[in-house]
Structure 1
Amino acid sequence: MPQNSRLWLPFGLAVLVATLLGSIVQTQFNLAALQQLGASISPGVRAQATLHDLLGFSPTFAALVIAAFIVALPFTAWAAPVCGLLRWLAFSLAGALAVWLALTTANALAPMPTLIGANRTLAGTLALMLCGSLGGLVFARYSGASR
């Protein structure tokens, strides 16, 4: 858990970015899978499904992101190189790997084979990890941890 009170806002922003982007990614991968099965999905349905998932799926994904980031980001702030490009890379990797670990753990514990549909393919998993990476970069930027 971020111990310094000035880290709560950057932590919240990081979670928000990773969660919202992850929810959008999840929706688009699910819709693409339906299209591969022959479903016709209009732009209106795509937008409606995205909004529905932002409201309905985001809390689930937020729980995974919080559980992952609450360990990964403060640890990275403590352990990462002092300055420069390597520090940015450390936060980017921390966010991506934290999301991957959260997904892997959730899938191991869930009664169904894959808890999050986008996580069924390598491309979907990498896209969700990218969302975590962007969240890690947001934390680095706004926490001062990038300095």
Structure 2
Amino acid sequence: MPQNSRLWLPFGLAVFVATVLGSIVQTQFNLAALQQLGASIPADIRLQATTHDLLGFSPTFAALVIAAFIVALPLTAWLAPAQGVLRWLIFLLAGALAVWLALTAANAVAPMPTLIGANRTLAGTLALMLCGSLGSLVFARFSAAAR
């Protein structure tokens, strides 16, 4: 990260947003896969599973997001213009690409076919990438204020 310590808070917020959203996405994709197999999943079980994964799965996803963002966000902040639509677009793409690269790297070394279940489908991968984009936009928003 840049030496400017004021950027740690935006970085932490970006990781938090991407991680929480990614955990929720992962849970919902897993539950949808179970429903396709015929399982009935009422709303209370869906909420319970989501809460469980926020506590149990999110540290794993947070590690991937941190590894991805610690490179992508400072590099993007350095490359992106200070203002304008192009800045937001660059951060949007950087967050998505960072998460995709982290998932690809994790899947290359994981003993199972994919480390994260939602990453087994294109829709799931795109949804996780969107979570990275939203986290990256949080960084763009709050790091601009820290300058």
Pairwise TM-score range, normalised by the shorter structure: over 0.9
Q: How many residue pairs get matched?
A: 147
Name the structure 2 match of 1:79. Answer: 79
Quote how far apart the aligned CAs of 1:4 are. 1.2
In 2, Cα distance between equivalents of 1:113 and 1:136: 27
Q: Which residue of 2 aligns with 1:7?
A: 7
Structure 2 contact 91–136 (Cα < 8 Å) conserved: yes
Separation in 2 of the partners of 1:106 and 1:16?
Answer: 20
Q: Which runs of 5+ in 2 are unaligned?
A: none
Residues 20, 131 of structure 1: alpha-carbon distance in 2 compared, 3 angstrom cutoff: same
- Extract unaligned runs of 5+ from structure 1: none
Question: Sequence identity, in percent?
Answer: 86
Provide the TM-score with structure 2 as the length reference.
0.97
Alpha-carbon offset, residue 145 of structure 1: 7.1
**Which residue in 1 is equivalent to 2:109?**
109
Please give the per-residue CA displacement for 1:45-90, whole angstroms capped at 9, x wherever unaligned. 0000000000000000000000000000000000113321000001
Alignment partners' CA distance in 2, 1:71 and 1:116? 21
Q: CA deviation at 1:2?
A: 3.6
Q: Which amino acid aligns with 2:137?
A: L
- Rounded Cα–Cα distance in structure 1 between residues aligned with 2:52 and 2:71: 29
Does the CA-based 8 Å contact 1:97-1:129 persist in structure 2? yes
Q: CA deviation at 1:146?
A: 10
8 Å contact kept, 1:77–1:145: no
For 1:138 and 1:50, the matched residues in 2 are separated by 23
Q: Which amino acid aligns with 2:72?
A: A
TM superposition score normalised by structure 1: 0.97
Partner-residue secondary structure (3-state), 1:113: coil
Q: Are residues 77 and 64 of structure 1, via their aligned partners in 2, closer, same or farther at CA, if it must alter by over 3 Å?
A: same
Aligned-pair distance for 1:28?
Answer: 0.1
Asked whether the equivalents of residues 88 and 146 of structure 1 are also in contact (C-alpha less than 8 Å), the reply is no
CA contact (8 A) 2:7 2:146 kept: no
- Report the alpha carbon displacement of residue 14 of structure 1 after superposing the two structures with TM: 0.1
When the two chains are superposed, the root-mean-square deviation of aligned CA atoms in Å is: 1.4
